[in-house]
Amino acid sequence: MDEIFARRDLVDPPTLKALCRPSDVRGAIQTLSQIAVLAATGALLLKTAGTLWAVPFFMAHGALLNFLYAGQHELSHWTVFKTRSLNEWVGRIFGFVLFYPRTFDQVQHVAHHRFTQDWERDGELARPRYTLSSYLLWMSGVTYWYTRWRRIVRFSVGIVSEPYLPVARHPEFVREARLHVLGYTAIAATSVYFQTWVAVELWLAPMVVMKFVHQLQNTIEHLGLPHENNVFANTRSTRTNALLRWACWQMQYHTAHHAFPGVPFHRLRELDALLTERRGSPPPTMTYWGFQKAVFLAFLGGRTEADYPDDRAWIGKSTAN
């Protein structure tokens, strides 16, 4: 994932080289700050268990657990730390926590960057076109978690059927899934042996229930934009606040990220400003709630994703230069 899919006509090589420089310090600040806040929300959740005060801590803890995927995503690009082994092993830990094995995620994500919005080859489009009900199920996390858990089990028994996954790498996916299953089984066995619900209270329950918060980011990035090979038309950025940008590792600057995936998360705001200046216009951009409102309105009256054209935007606006 360290190759760069770039619009080199927009950023000169010296500037791009400077922007693409990862930092162990910046990576550690982001990673450790998120872990520290998770430790705090987890401690407060345990302390307030059985009271109404536990509700906000449960919600915050679960949302932050899900936003670890933003970190895993960046670690898969090898852009968080200058020390490559840190990207590898922190990424594997995050992938284990999130039921999203790192090697699989990397290969799927390469396909997503190379073939963004290509129904046949984009790994993130391996789904039927949305109806209102299927979209709501995905937003809630029900079908999200079913898909993730089912894939790990399927891979662990040697069944890898995704067309975007190279056959030569199937043994890696199978081995990785089996290691995950072994780890989850060990946690379950330990919990039963010590008769503790800590893994459920601090990990599974908040992460599963609060998935919908992270889905706000997952769905806004490409849905409703043209299925064409142009990053400034097929990828959307998000207007939001500094807290959510921190939690999501700056992935709200998503158009900039797709234009130059080799640029680390902490330089994306700068890259976004530079691209806007060079192009003379901002990328497609919406707020989380504005986007969700537009999606619901688009699906009213029984309409589905299949009722809209692939060659132009049907949610918000896109740009194409």
Question: 56: which residues sit within 8 A by CB, 6+ positions away?
Answer: none
Q: Count of alpha carbons within 13 Å of 221, Cβ hemisphere only? A: 22
Buried b / exposed e across 62-97, counting CB within 10 Å, b at 16+? bbbbbbbbbbbbbbbbbbbbbeeebbeebbbebbbe
Structural contact between residues 103 and 176, judged by C-beta atoms closer than 8 angstroms:
yes
**CA separation for the pair 279, 289 (Å, rounded):** 27
Please identify which residue in the block is written with the tokens 């009722």: 307
The per-residue pLDDT string of the chain (321 residues; one tens digit each, 9 = 90 and over) reads: 445 555 678 899 999 999 999 999 999 999 999 999 999 999 999 999 999 999 999 999 999 999 999 999 999 999 999 999 999 999 999 999 999 999 999 999 999 999 999 998 998 998 999 999 999 999 999 999 999 999 999 999 999 999 999 999 999 999 999 999 999 999 999 999 999 999 999 999 999 999 999 999 999 999 999 999 999 999 999 999 999 999 999 999 999 999 999 999 999 999 999 999 999 999 999 999 999 999 999 999 999 999 999 999 999 876 666
For all residues of the chain together, what is the average pLDDT? 95
Q: Whole-angstrom distance between the N-terminal and C-terminal Cα of the chain?
A: 26
Please identify which residue in the block is written with the tokens 């940008």: 245
Query: Considering only CA atoms, which of 5, 30, 7, 17 is closest in space to residue 265?
Result: 30
Give 65-119 pLDDT, tens digit per residue. 999 999 999 999 999 999 999 999 999 999 999 999 999 999 999 999 999 999 9
What letter represents residue 231's amino acid? V
Structural contact between residues 255 and 275, judged by C-beta atoms closer than 8 angstroms:
yes
- pLDDT score at 6: 58
DSSP state for residue 138 in the 8-state scheme: H
Structural contact between residues 29 and 88, judged by C-beta atoms closer than 8 angstroms:
no
Domain residue ranges in the chain: 13-307
- pLDDT score at 8: 72
- pLDDT score at 1: 46
